[in-house]
Amino acid sequence: MPVPDTTRFLKPEVVAKLKGIDLKARLVVEGFLAGLHRSPYKGFSVEFTEHRPYMPGDEPKRIDWKVYAKTDRFVVREYEEETNLRAYLVLDASGSMAYSTGEVSKLEYAGMLAASLAYLLLHQRDSAGLITFTDKIDAYVPPRSTPAHLNALLRQLAAARSGGDTNIAGTFHQLAERVKRRGLVIIMSDLWDDPKAVLTALRHFRHKKHEVLVFHIQDPNEREFAFRNPVVLKDMETGREMTVDPRVLREQYQKDFDGFFATFERGCREAAIDYHRVTTDTPFDRALFSYLERRSKMR
Amino acid sequence: MGFLAPSLLPLAALAAIPVVIHILSRLRLKRAEFPSLLLLTTVKRERFSWLRLKELLLLVFRTLALLALLLALARPYVRHRLPGLGRTNDLVVILDDSYSMGRASQWQRALAVSRGLLSSLGPGRRAALLVASQAGLFNSSLLSPPSSFLPLLDSLRPSCTEAVLEPALRRAMELAEPAHADIAVVTDLQVKAVPSDWRPPTDVPVTLVSVSGPNANNAGVTRVYTEDRFPVAGQATRIKADFANYGPHLATRTAILTLDDRREEQAVTIKPHASATVTFEAVSADSGYHVAEVELRTDSLEADNTRWLAFRQPRRIPVLVVESPAVPATYLADALGADSSSVFSLTRIAAPEFGRYDPRRFSTVVVTDAAALSRPDWTRLGFFLQSGGSALVMFGNPPSDSLLLAGRIRFLGSARPSGFVSVASADTTHPVLDILKPADLSVARFFAHARLERAGGRVLARLSDGEPLIVAADDGRLVTWAFTVLPEFTDLVFKAAFVPLLHRTLLYLAGGGLVADYLVGDTIRAPVVGAGPVAISTPDGRVVMEPEMEAGRPEVAVARTGLPGIYRVDERPYAVNVFAAEGDLTQVPTGKLEKLGYRVWSASDSRQSPIANRQSSDLSPVLLWIAALAFAAELLLLAL
């Protein structure tokens, strides 16, 4: 009997057609978990499945010493997960996040990703909180691990609307000071701000002993700059207008654009921050894998 | 600079299309939202200057390419030699064939100069030959080779017309401008030949080639006329002739009159640059048409040495006087001398009887009171005028209609000034008044008069209140008096001027003695009797013509008379003469001509003709190169 291909439900354009963010999150996570059994990322499952003999290269901390005491054999536990993770989902709802050239805007994508992560986190009995911001913190839902908390998170996510200016660095500093208990800060933003200031703010999280996972979300056209003729562009946050000839600017713009990302990538690497560049057509499983990868490192 | 195809010049406006598109595209730019202009601000700042420059250069090169291409279509040229572009110009030759060119060997010199100009053009060049008197009639295009005009030159003779170069110059300009040809006018540079109020365009050089020798003594007959303006049969009239000496020396010549078959000679001496009048002794008293020919012997220019006069001496002039009880014709009849010695034969009738008379038996109808005629009477009078008759209409009582004779007379009302008005001005150049002085009329007082509108005629006298007093129709067949001959209206009937005024008016209307003096080139329009073929004799032969109906009466038209002399239509003579002033050989100063923009060259000048081998340069290839280079530059910029 053929196994149904559930990965198609991880494509943003498919998920976006569903109504209700809870359904979307559920679809993404269930589809993700179903696909995980066939994936090379088996090690990141959330439930204990079996013991296996210790192999050179396995981390010694994963050896099950109880079994060793009883059987005098080294075995390692697979897929054991922890329940005390405190995750902060930080969602950028500034004006630029409303940009969309496909079926999904950046904010919608980030919302669905946040919902999926919340679903997954709570499914693993971790605590999940939510912060939405523009040029300031707009909403703050403290982390909880109860299943009923999911509804609160999803309601808040569904209510998130893009608009206004952005002040990423300032908001991050504010947030870093506000969140007292260390945890995993998952940032979903297009990071359209001064890279230097943003990186400083991200380092502020690290300084507060937080683990940081950054999903740098972009629309494909932001890099492609696929305008054919001269056009008047309006900044979605500041409202400023600029006449540009894309045929002439495109090449340099793309070069600068890549440099912009490279700056973040390099800065995050130096600060031991997980940085992932995703576009709104990136399937959600890649983002979830990124999360699990980070989650596994935190054991 | 000029253009060979100026009609295509407006196409150059299409070169504005790139600019218009550029502006429109700027105005109609698409607007779009973008997440952040953070990076674009930096990029644009770096690329802005070059972009603007590139955009500007593209626009300039594109517009330049298009402009150069479109201008090349209009084929611009400059009138000087540019390296690699020069070529010898085409040439339009105008030959002044006025009769003054026939003096001595001047005509032969003109032909020789014309031949030389045409022969000097290089191979492949084109030429046109225009004869001044017939400009536009033939040879109206540039032909190659120029030598094809040489046989035509040999067949030309001086015409008997005056020199009017302007039509020929205009025609030549039409030929020369599109072909950037030069214009050469072979002429004797008579003062009146060169139009002083017409300047040649700066882009077409007009060279006046003078073929005249030194000023020669020329004298001619300028006018032949009867001693009496209106000769009548039975009253002997003598012939007079005016002569002019245009030269700087005293002229002593013999003047010969031939009147019908009689001949008379008189010696005449004319001072330099002066005129003289001779009255011949021979008289004419018989009724009918007479022909006089006056010849002045002799000098180097023959055309103006002879002049003709045709005139008529009527036996008696039948006049029909239509009077009313209110305005009897008593004063009128007294003034016209109703006896056997009078030249007028009066028939007086009361106005109601007008319908029973055939007015065509009379030369002229006199209406003493316009109010006395009924509408059918006016209609009848109108037909009479149309069939060649004439009328004198006087206004006494106000008529019932304001428009009379189909609008030829417009009655605006009556005026009865307090006291009187008198004549304020009189046109004594008109034949009706030319024997009077304004003072002769101004002594008369007018106590009442009609107010008339000029209605296309000529006002011969005007009253001090500004109203017209005497109006003559342009065709010479109707004279209107705003008064009638009663002492209640005017005391003119008691003044000395009254009788001559009345006589001249009726003689003028009857046409006695006045036979139009035609000039060579005019068309003679002669009324004839009946619709059958009419024999016409001219100075160079006889022709038979079918009359045409004109204004209800048959007439023949002898078009464009070519020779001076006597033309007879149905045995009625018409004199055709040359334009007297053409005999004045005074030349216009070359300095004045050069100020007007002409180039002047004397054929006797030993230097090379300024016309020969004149060159101009076609700029089209240069423009095409510019277009190609601009196009290439545009492509290069696009590739950058």
Q: Per-residue pLDDT tens for B306-363? A: 999 998 887 788 899 999 988 888 888 888 875 666 788 889 999 999 988 888 888 8
A233 touches chain B (CB under 8 A): yes
Contacts of B11 (CB under 8 A, 6+ apart): B70, B73, B74
A230 touches chain B (CB under 8 A): yes
Please compute, for residue B527, the number of CA atoms within 13 A of its CA located in the half-sphere on the CB side: 10
A21 touches chain B (CB under 8 A): no
Q: Which of A234, A243, A245 sits opposite B34 (nearest CB)?
A: A234
Question: Is A21 a domain residue?
Answer: no
Contacts of B460 (CB under 8 A, 6+ apart): B426, B427, B430, B432, B433, B469, B470, B471, B472, B479
At residue B309, the 3 state secondary structure works out as strand
B25 touches chain A (CB under 8 A): yes
A257 touches chain B (CB under 8 A): yes
ipTM for this model: 0.75
Mean pLDDT in residue range A270-276: 89
Task: Find, among A209, A33, A252, the residue nearest to B39 by Cα.
Answer: A252
A158 touches chain B (CB under 8 A): no
Which residue of chain A comes nearest to B33, CA vs CA? A234
| Alpha carbon distance B146, B115 (integer Å) | 9
Question: Is A30 a domain residue?
Answer: no
Structural domains for chain B: 2-75+620-639 (no CATH), 86-215+586-618 (3.40.50.410), 219-314 (2.60.40.10), 319-510 (3.40.50.880), 518-577 (no CATH)
Q: With residue B549 as reference, give the H or E element that holds it.
A: strand B548-550
B chain contacts of residue A248, beta-carbon cutoff 8 Å: 47, 51, 54
The answer to whether residue B158 scores a pLDDT higher than 90 is no
Task: Find, among B442, B487, B488, B434, the residue nearest to B469 by Cα.
Answer: B442
Which CATH number fits the domain that encloses residue A132? Answer: 3.40.50.410
B33 touches chain A (CB under 8 A): yes
B chain contacts of residue A256, beta-carbon cutoff 8 Å: 39, 42-43
pLDDT for residue A246? 82
B43 to A227: CB separation less than 8 angstroms, yes or no: no
Contacts of B48 (CB under 8 A, 6+ apart): none
Structural contact between residues B92 and B127, judged by C-beta atoms closer than 8 angstroms: yes
Q: Give the highest mean pLDDT range of A18-32, A125-139, B28-42.
A: A125-139
DSSP state at residue B356? G
Contacts of B191 (CB under 8 A, 6+ apart): B584, B586, B587, B588
B34 to A236: CB separation less than 8 angstroms, yes or no: yes
| Alpha carbon distance B446, B464 (integer Å) | 10
Question: Is A149 a domain residue?
Answer: yes
At residue B203, the 3 state secondary structure works out as coil
Cβ burial, residue A146 (10 Å; 0-12/13-18/19+): exposed
B38 touches chain A (CB under 8 A): yes
The CA-to-CA distance between both ends of chain B, in Å, stands at: 38
Question: Is A1 a domain residue?
Answer: no
Handedness of CA B374, B379, B384, B389 (dihedral sign): positive
pLDDT for residue A119? 82
Q: Which domain holds residue A132?
A: 86-297
- Over residues A239-253, the pLDDT tens digits come to 888 888 787 788 888
Domain check: are A72 and A168 in the same one? no
The answer to whether residue A122 scores a pLDDT higher than 90 is no
Angle at B303 between CA B302 and CA B306, to 5 degrees: 85
The answer to whether residue B484 scores a pLDDT higher than 50 is yes
pLDDT for residue B449? 94
Tokens of B67: 């402009």
Q: What is the full DSSP assignment across B100-156? A: GGGSTTHHHHHHHHHHHHHHTSPTT--EEEEEGGGTTTS--S-BSSGGGGHHHHHH-
Handedness of CA B270, B274, B279, B280 (dihedral sign): positive
Amino acid letter, residue A239 = G
- For residue A1, name the pLDDT band (cuts at 50, 70, 90): very low
Domain check: are A128 and A239 in the same one? yes
A109 touches chain B (CB under 8 A): no
Mean pLDDT in residue range A146-169: 84
Burial B99-138 (b: 16+ CB within 10 A, else e): bbbbbeebbebbbebbbebbebbeeebbbbbbbbbbbeee
| Alpha carbon distance B290, B285 (integer Å) | 10
Q: Which of B34, B47, B51 sits opposite A233 (nearest CB)?
A: B34
Structural contact between residues B369 and B395, judged by C-beta atoms closer than 8 angstroms: yes
A235 touches chain B (CB under 8 A): yes
Q: Which of B33, B44, B47 sits opposite A236 (nearest CB)?
A: B33
**Number of domains chain A is built from:** 2
Domain check: are A181 and A53 in the same one? no
A contact test, residue of B22, B43, B56 with most A CBs within 10 A: B43
Q: Which of A230, A235, A241 sits opposite B36 (nearest CB)?
A: A235
B contact test, residue of A216, A248, A251, A257 with most B CBs within 10 A: A248
User: Comparing B338 with B431, which gets the higher pLDDT?
Assistant: B431
Q: Which of B35, B44, B46 sits opposite A242 (nearest CB)?
A: B44
Three-state SS string over B62-113 comes to: HHHHHHHHHHHHCCEEECCCCCCCEEECCEEEEECCCHHHHCCCHHHHHHHH
B32 to A229: CB separation less than 8 angstroms, yes or no: no
Domain check: are A65 and A192 in the same one? no
Structural contact between residues B297 and B254, judged by C-beta atoms closer than 8 angstroms: yes
User: Comparing B551 with B590, which gets the higher pLDDT?
Assistant: B590
B36 to A236: CB separation less than 8 angstroms, yes or no: yes
Amino acid letter, residue B29 = L
pLDDT for residue B15? 86
B30 to A244: CB separation less than 8 angstroms, yes or no: no
At residue B91, φ and ψ (nearest 5 deg) are: -140, 135
Mean pLDDT in residue range B427-434: 88
pLDDT for residue A97? 92
A252 touches chain B (CB under 8 A): yes
Domain check: are A57 and A185 in the same one? no
Domain check: are A61 and A114 in the same one? no
Size of interface A-B (CB pairs under 8 A): 80
- Over residues A63-111, the pLDDT tens digits come to 888 888 888 888 887 654 444 678 899 999 999 999 988 888 999 889 8
Domain check: are A72 and A200 in the same one? no
A chain contacts of residue B43, beta-carbon cutoff 8 Å: 249, 252-253, 256
Length of chain B counted residue by residue? 640
Handedness of CA B63, B64, B70, B74 (dihedral sign): positive
- For residue B81, name the pLDDT band (cuts at 50, 70, 90): low
Ranges B156-160, B227-231, B261-265: which has the least confidence = B227-231
Segments of A154-222 assigned E as strands = 184-189, 211-218
Structural contact between residues B278 and B317, judged by C-beta atoms closer than 8 angstroms: no
Which residue of chain B comes nearest to A225, CA vs CA? B34
- For residue B84, name the pLDDT band (cuts at 50, 70, 90): low
Question: Is A278 a domain residue?
Answer: yes
| C-alpha distance from B36 to closest chain A C-alpha (Å) | 5
Which residue of chain A comes nearest to B50, CA vs CA? A248
Question: Is A254 a domain residue?
Answer: yes
The answer to whether residue A41 scores a pLDDT higher than 50 is no
pLDDT for residue A291? 72
Tokens of B42: 């930096």
| C-alpha distance from B69 to closest chain A C-alpha (Å) | 28
- For residue A12, name the pLDDT band (cuts at 50, 70, 90): low
**Residue that has been written with the tokens 């040495």 in this structure:** B305
- Over residues B500-549, the pLDDT tens digits come to 899 889 988 887 545 557 888 888 888 787 778 898 999 988 888 888 88
| Alpha carbon distance B367, B411 (integer Å) | 15
Q: What is the rounded average pLDDT for all residues in chain B?
A: 84
The answer to whether residue B470 scores a pLDDT higher than 70 is yes
| Alpha carbon distance B547, B532 (integer Å) | 7
Structural contact between residues B223 and B242, judged by C-beta atoms closer than 8 angstroms: yes
Domain check: are A61 and A158 in the same one? no
Amino acid letter, residue B61 = F
Q: Which of B32, B33, B43 sits opposite A253 (nearest CB)?
A: B43
Amino acid letter, residue B208 = L
Domain check: are A104 and A165 in the same one? yes
Task: Find, among B282, B319, B333, the residue nearest to B485 by Cα.
Answer: B333
pLDDT for residue A217? 92
Tokens of B238: 């003598």
Domain check: are A173 and A66 in the same one? no
Domain boundary among A30, A55, A77: A77
Question: Is A28 a domain residue?
Answer: no
Cβ burial, residue B184 (10 Å; 0-12/13-18/19+): buried
Domain check: are A138 and A268 in the same one? yes
- For residue A40, name the pLDDT band (cuts at 50, 70, 90): very low
The answer to whether residue B140 scores a pLDDT higher than 60 is yes
User: For A19, left (φ over 0), alpha (ψ -120 to 50), or beta?
Assistant: beta
| Alpha carbon distance B382, B398 (integer Å) | 19
Ranges A205-219, B44-58, B485-499, B588-602: which has the least confidence = B44-58
The answer to whether residue B174 scores a pLDDT higher than 80 is yes
A99 to B54: CB separation less than 8 angstroms, yes or no: no
Three-state SS string over B260-293 comes to: CCEEEEEEEEECCCEEEEEEEEEEECCCEEEEEE
B35 to A96: CB separation less than 8 angstroms, yes or no: yes
At residue B519, the 3 state secondary structure works out as strand
Angle at B563 between CA B561 and CA B569, to 5 degrees: 55
Question: Is A190 a domain residue?
Answer: yes
Domain boundary among A77, A94, A126: A77
Which residue of chain A comes nearest to B54, CA vs CA? A248
Domain check: are A108 and A134 in the same one? yes
At residue B297, the 3 state secondary structure works out as strand
- For residue A201, name the pLDDT band (cuts at 50, 70, 90): very high
